[in-house]
Amino acid sequence: MNINNKNKNGFVKSVIMSDKIKILILCTGNSCRSQMAEAFLKQLDSRLAVFSAGTRPAERVNPFTIRAMQEVGLDLSASKTKSVEQFLDQDFDFVITVCGGAKETCPVFFGNVKQRLHIGFDDPADATGSDAEILAVYRRVRAEIQVAFRQFYEDNVRSLIQK
């Protein structure tokens, strides 16, 4: 349930009481970074409604993403890539881009988007070398995403959810 109140300056502020905070994480392919960020936010707080999508979704979640996330106890083996098109008419508290391509091509949402953010990361899909070298890049980006999205949660989300 959302309750709108006016602050001392007459601006409407929203107090979220029982609705879930709705978050969409965008990337170009929805096969690496956005999938990782979605999984970490869902792990942090089950009261969040978290989705990820791509502006040009890949055919499947990258196998290195699945492998890197399994190492930290998160199973993405059944995850599917999704197009941002299916979310354009929905309302979101946050729409977050995690790659420059999605930031530049982020479509216009017809629903209400309260806040847009960009939290950028290197694309691990660009990694080259042996499987071990590629996996090392995925692990690094995974760790960066985990830290950044925990900070996002602490700075932006925790205070919006009543315990």
Nearest alpha-carbon partner for 83 in 109, 57, 51: 57
Strands (E), 101-152: 113-118
Could you tell me which residues come within 8 angstroms of residue 154 by beta carbon, excluding any fewer than 6 positions away? none
User: Distance between CA atoms of 105 and 87, rounded to whole angstroms?
Assistant: 15
* pLDDT for res 160: 84
State the greatest distance between any 2 C-alpha atoms of the chain, in Å, as a whole number. 60
Could you tell me which residues come within 8 angstroms of residue 94 by beta carbon, excluding any fewer than 6 positions away? 21, 22, 23, 24, 113, 114, 115, 116, 117, 156, 157
Catalytic residue among 16, 23, 27, 41: 27
User: Distance between CA atoms of 42 and 23, rounded to whole angstroms?
Assistant: 10
* pLDDT for res 10: 40
Domains of the chain and CATH, by start = 21-150 (3.40.50.2300)
CA 28 to chain centre: 12
What is the pTM assigned to this prediction? 0.84
Per DSSP, the three-state class of 155 is helix
* pLDDT for res 107: 57
Mean pLDDT over each residue of the chain, to the nearest integer: 85
* pLDDT for res 159: 86
Give the chain's residues under pLDDT 70.
1-18, 100-110, 162-163
Catalytic residue among 66, 76, 99, 125: 99
Catalytic annotation on 32? no
* pLDDT for res 109: 60
* pLDDT for res 12: 36
Catalytic residue among 49, 58, 72, 106: 106
